[in-house]
């Protein structure tokens, strides 16, 4: 039953990915007027214009372009960068490790802040501690990361000199980007942890456990913790996708050489095939993270397996 539901979820992801690829394909055709004019200017040499038109396959009918694009995606031929003429796929894959590292550290940081904070807030629900924790959470979702980043940089790198300003080479250079990226995640997760914990504590299962004489930390962690974990873990998996969107801005602020920075660099240089590749790969990871969230909650919560 479970394996059948999981495989059906996988199958459902295929048309979604196809839709994503289609939208990314049409991105190039959103460029107003002729993309070749936009790239080279109207005064370019006819030979250069023709070469670029061929490189972007703009000389073909649109359906043929689309078919060529999809078959290229499947075979790993994602086109060539217009700037350095290297394969887009290669340029993307070499940037993945940096983004993966930043995302992993940010997510870990978010969990280590959010779980204790959510627990603390739930334990003291309705009191000052709860208000303080949720105030922090509201602060966290309202603070834009393109401002938090520069402010952290000013205080801890420029002012106090504890950490490097930007880049990836020096030790400790991941700390500020990870805090910048992790803060919003921690805010969302702690809110979720608090409300799920409270909901779990109000459930019949906990009332029954109480009637059997269980109390104290055991009931909070072993009994309610298990119930509360389901939505929190699902939310965590969803955040794994959301972190990729935030990485675009955070990497730009800190000059962190990952996929996000590559996307922005490609946009600034109007390297359209590379922009398409970056957007596609980030969206693909995002779809996979959402799929993982779906499967995790099916696996953890048998109640959701009922059709």
- Contact residues toward another protein (CB under 8 A) are 15-17, 19-20, 22-24, 27-28, 30-32, 38, 131, 135, 138-139, 141-144, 146-147, 150-151, 153-154, 158, 241-242, 244-246, 248-249, 252-253, 263-264, 267-268, 272, 275, 279, 282-283, 286-287, 290
> Judged by CB, which is closer to another protein: 30, or 160?
30
Q: How far is the CB of 80 from another protein (least distance, A)?
A: 19
Phi, psi of 162 (to 5 degrees): -75, -30
Dump the DSSP string for the chain.
-HHHHHHHHHHHHHHHHHHHHHHHHHHGGGSSS-HHHHHH-TTS-HHHHHHHHHHTTTTS-HHHHHHHHHHHHHTT---B-TTT--BHHHHHHTTHHHHHHHHHHHHHHHHHHHHHHHHHHHHTTTSHHHHHHHHHHHHHHHS-HHHHHHHHIIIIIIIS--S-SS-SSSTTTTHHHHHHHHHHHHHHHHHHHHHHHHHHHTSHHHHHHHHTT--THHIIIIIIHHHHHHHHHHHHHHHHHHHHHHHHHHHHHHT--SHHHHHHHHHHTT-HHHHHHHHHHHHHHHHHHHHHHHHHHHHH-GGGG--
Q: How far is the CB of 164 from another protein (least distance, A)?
A: 15
Q: How far is the CB of 149 from another protein (least distance, A)?
A: 9
> Judged by CB, which is closer to another protein: 37, or 77?
37
Q: How far is the CB of 31 from another protein (least distance, A)?
A: 5
> Judged by CB, which is closer to another protein: 220, or 291?
291
> Judged by CB, which is closer to another protein: 131, or 214?
131
Q: How far is the CB of 246 from another protein (least distance, A)?
A: 8
Q: How far is the CB of 288 from another protein (least distance, A)?
A: 10
Residue 158 structure tokens: 């420029």
Q: How far is the CB of 205 from another protein (least distance, A)?
A: 21
> Judged by CB, which is closer to another protein: 118, or 277?
277
> Judged by CB, which is closer to another protein: 223, or 237?
237
> Judged by CB, which is closer to another protein: 67, or 158?
158
């Amino acid at each position: 039953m479970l394996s059948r539901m999981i495989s059906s979820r996988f199958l459902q992801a295929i048309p979604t990915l196809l839709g994503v690829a289609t939208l990314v394909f049409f991105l190039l055709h959103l460029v107003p007027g002729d993309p070749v004019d936009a790239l080279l200017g109207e005064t370019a040499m006819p030979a250069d214009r023709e070469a670029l038109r061929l490189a972007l396959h703009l000389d073909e009918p649109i359906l043929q372009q689309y078919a060529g694009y999809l078959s290229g995606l499947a075979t790993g031929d994602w086109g060539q960068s217009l700037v350095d003429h290297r394969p887009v796929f290669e340029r993307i894959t070499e940037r993945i490790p940096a983004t993966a590292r930043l995302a992993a550290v940010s997510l870990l940081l978010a969990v280590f802040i959010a779980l204790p904070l959510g627990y603390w807030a739930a334990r003291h629900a309705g009191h000052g501690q709860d208000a303080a924790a949720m105030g922090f959470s509201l602060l966290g979702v309202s603070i834009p990361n393109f401002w938090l980043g520069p402010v952290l940089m000013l205080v801890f790198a420029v002012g106090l000199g504890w950490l490097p300003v930007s880049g990836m080479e020096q030790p400790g250079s991941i700390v500020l980007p990870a805090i910048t990226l992790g803060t919003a995640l921690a805010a969302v997760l702690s809110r979720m942890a608090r409300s799920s914990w409270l909901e779990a504590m109000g459930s019949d299962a906990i009332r029954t456990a109480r009637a059997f004489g269980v109390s104290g930390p055991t009931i909070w962690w072993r009994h309610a913790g298990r119930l509360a974990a389901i939505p929190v873990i699902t939310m965590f998996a969803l955040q794994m996708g959301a972190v990729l969107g935030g990485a675009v801005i955070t990497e730009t602020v800190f000059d962190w050489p990952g996929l996000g920075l590559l996307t922005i660099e490609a946009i600034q240089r109007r390297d359209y095939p590379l922009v398409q590749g970056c957007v596609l790969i980030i969206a693909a990871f995002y779809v996979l993270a959402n799929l993982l969230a779906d499967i995790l909650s099916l696996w953890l919560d048998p109640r959701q397996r009922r059709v």
